[in-house]
Amino acid sequence: MIKISHEVPICLLEKSRTFNDYHYCLAHLLDQNEEYANFFFQRKEADDYIIMDNSLHELGEAYDRSRLMHLVNELKPNEFIVPDVWEDYTQSVVNAKEWSKINLPKEVTKVAVVQAKSYEEAMKCYQTYKDLGYKKIAFSYGASYYNDVYPHINSDFGKAMGRLWVINSLYKDRVISKKDRIHLLGTAMPFEFKFYNEMPFIESIDTSNPIMAALEGTKYTDGQHPKPKLNMNEVQAWPLEKIDVDLVHYNVIRFRDINNL
């Protein structure tokens, strides 16, 4: 069964334990907010499953290398997404090679993110990561080439279906096998995940989409909603009284219904 996690503002971290299958940690926030850090270190003590991201999406570039090293060794997450460079196949592979040689705590699985500007680059990137020994590989939600392989008047719809097309094609081309382990980073449209239910290699997903939609006042219907404009950096410090918690819970439940999860 696919594991799901929705990133939430700090005031909802405890509540998120009622609807998340695991905890998704943004590295830079461990340094920026004591309450955030305390939550994740407490969840580690409780032996909860944690995936730690390098914060590329939030910062525009991966978090500081030395701080990532420190935080991974301190928190010891179950998985760590090694630094990648947005839509840069070459530099992402260079980073993955470097991190493949770095010793991390034995319980930490390194995850590499496919970055590319075309399907051909994505194929090379994925295969290179496997050759480097990565046991789990991730696909971002917003790569421009998704719109190239699946052109659509609605670019968010095209990105969602484009990622599906890429992953399905990699499987058909025998680059992805049934025994592979894949993580999906975010989504351009929340209905996308229902198409992955019969793909045993999709192990986990993270998306703040239903949360951000609720914070913008959007109530989920069929899952074909524009991607929310809010991001986690903008809402981390929102107080609880500013949030419609009932709408958050509704969207989270509706998200699973829409995607048959």
- The whole-angstrom separation of Cα 220 and Cα 250 is 8
Task: Inform me whether the pLDDT recorded for 226 exceeds 90.
Answer: no
- In tens, the pLDDT along 169-185 reads 999 999 999 999 999 99
Distance CA 188, CA 141 (A): 6
Range of the domain at 100: 3-258
Mean pLDDT within 106-127: 98
- Summarised one tens digit per residue, pLDDT across range 36-78 is 999 999 999 999 999 999 999 888 899 999 999 999 999 999 9
* Nearest alpha carbon to residue 41 among 206, 50, 32, 110: 50
Strands (E), 38-189: 50-53, 79-81, 109-114, 136-139, 182-185
Contacts of 106 (CB under 8 A, 6+ apart): none
pLDDT above 90 for 233: no
pLDDT score of 254? 96
pLDDT interval class at 18 (50, 70, 90): very high
* Cα(66)–Cα(70) distance, integer angstroms: 6
Q: Please provide the DSSP assignment of 156-169 as one string.
A: HHHHHHHHHHHHHH
Residue 25's nearest CA partner among 50, 60, 56 is 50
In CATH, what number is assigned to the domain containing residue 24? Answer: 3.20.20.105
Percent of the chain with pLDDT over 70: 100
Q: Domain tally for the chain?
A: 1
Chain segment 141-153, per-residue pLDDT in tens:
999 999 999 999 9
Pairing mode of beta strands 3-5, 50-53: unpaired
Environment class of 184 (CB within 10 Å of its CB; exposed 0-12, middle 13-18, buried 19+): buried
pLDDT beyond 90 at 212: yes
Query: Distance between CA atoms of 26 and 56, rounded to whole angstroms?
Result: 9
Phi and psi angles of residue 138, each rounded to the nearest 5 degrees, phi first: -115, 155
pLDDT for the residue numbered 252: 97
Q: Give the containing element (helix H, strand E) for 26.
A: strand 23-26
Structure tokens at 36: 């955030």
In eight-state DSSP terms, residue 182 is E
Query: Is residue 223 over pLDDT 90?
Result: no
Residue 126 has pLDDT above 90, yes or no: yes
pLDDT of res. 90: 97
Closest alpha carbon to 136 in 64, 172, 185, 173 = 185
Q: Residue 234 and residue 245: Cα distance in Å, rounded? A: 18
Helix (H, G, I), strand (E, B) or coil at 202: strand
Looking at residue 5, its pLDDT comes to 98
